[in-house]
């Protein structure tokens, strides 16, 4: 089962993406990168059914998301937005239990299976020891891991994350990306909006590079991260070389003067 995007157009009143064709497979980590305002978050919201399609369609297996209710859709995919709301007065375990809501009856009754999945999700995300602490008492990195644990507890084939590493220090960034990578190796799929090109290239099986609401390129990091493309998308002259440890592409600016004034971000 894949998420298949066919000539999809849609978005906000003042900004739309399209026409986009894309296939997102389980067992793969896909990173969406591109300049600020290019439509990455809008496209992610279209995939999640939060914004209406003007034309085209998005399907998950035989399920057309435009014809599927939110509850049924939430059993197929999980979305972690860029700025998730932090409810006051909740413990870590209470928030992670919210991830089980789509699988519970209308009264919200829990079962033994829910508790087991929640405990396993907290352990996988490395927050089990924090389960009785209030969210308000956690650091930013710890809180982000808790939201990821909630997403894991939703237990869907597809996990969509909008800039999950923003505002975190380097250690937490790599820990979260390692966690998502292991999640895909377990047979799920992650579609992640990222800022850092090198991190996207290191962890993604597929890069989707967006510009002006459309896809400028897609494919394996080594095949798409080329100087000509970076010049076209970001307006920079850059060198691309292989990381000595991972072998994945790394991008540096060709001009020392530009390097003082241009921030390489996706």
Q: What is the pLDDT of residues 199-257, one digit of tens each?
A: 999 999 999 999 999 999 999 999 999 999 999 999 999 999 999 988 999 998 886 64
Helix (H, G, I), strand (E, B) or coil at 77: strand
The pLDDT of residue 266 is 39
Calculate the average pLDDT of the chain.
90
pLDDT at 18: 82
CA-to-CA distance for 217 and 250, rounded, in angstroms? Answer: 17
- Residue of 148 and 18 predicted with greater confidence: 148
pTM for the predicted model, two decimal places: 0.90
> How many helices and strands in the chain, by DSSP H and E?
10, 12
Q: What angle do CA 91, 80, 195 make, to 5 degrees?
A: 120
Rounded Cα gap, residues 134 and 92, in angstroms? 6
What ranges in 67-196 are assigned the alpha helix state H? 70-73, 92-98, 112-124, 140-154, 170-185
What residues does CATH 3.40.50.300 cover in the chain?
1-76+158-224
Closest CA to 5 of 120, 144, 160: 160
Q: How many residues does the chain have?
A: 266
Query: pLDDT tier at 61 (50, 70, 90 boundaries)?
Result: confident
CATH class of 1-76+158-224: alpha beta
Proportion of the chain above pLDDT 70, given as a percent? 93
* Dihedral sign from CA coordinates of 52, 20, 224, 77: positive
């Amino acid at each position: 089962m894949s998420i298949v995007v066919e000539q999809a157009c849609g978005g906000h009143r003042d900004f739309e993406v399209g026409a986009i064709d894309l296939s997102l497979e389980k067992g793969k980590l896909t990173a969406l990168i591109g300049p600020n305002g290019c439509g990455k978050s809008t496209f992610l919201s279209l995939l999640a059914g939060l914004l209406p399609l003007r034309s085209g369609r998005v399907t998950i297996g035989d399920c057309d998301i435009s014809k599927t209710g939110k509850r049924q859709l939430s059993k197929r995919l999980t979305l972690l937005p860029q700025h998730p709301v932090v409810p006051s007065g909740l413990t870590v375990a209470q928030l992670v239990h919210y991830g089980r809501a789509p699988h519970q009856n209308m009264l919200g009754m829990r079962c033994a299976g829910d508790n087991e999945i929640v405990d396993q999700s907290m352990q996988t995300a490395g927050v089990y020891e924090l389960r009785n602490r209030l969210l308000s008492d956690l650091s930013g990195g710890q809180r982000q891991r808790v939201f990821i644990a909630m997403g894991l507890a939703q237990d869907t084939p597809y996990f969509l994350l909008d800039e999950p590493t923003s505002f975190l220090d380097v250690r937490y960034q790599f820990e979260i990306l390692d966690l998502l990578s292991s999640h895909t190796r377990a047979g799920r799929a992650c579609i992640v909006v990222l800022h850092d090109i090198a991190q996207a290239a290191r962890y993604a099986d597929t890069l989707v590079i967006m510009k002006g609401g459309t896809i400028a390129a897609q494919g394996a990091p080594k095949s798409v991260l080329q100087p000509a493309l970076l010049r076209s998308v970001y307006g920079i002259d850059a060198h691309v070389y292989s990381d000595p440890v991972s072998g994945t592409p790394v991008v540096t600016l060709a001009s020392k003067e530009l390097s003082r004034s241009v921030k390489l971000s996706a």
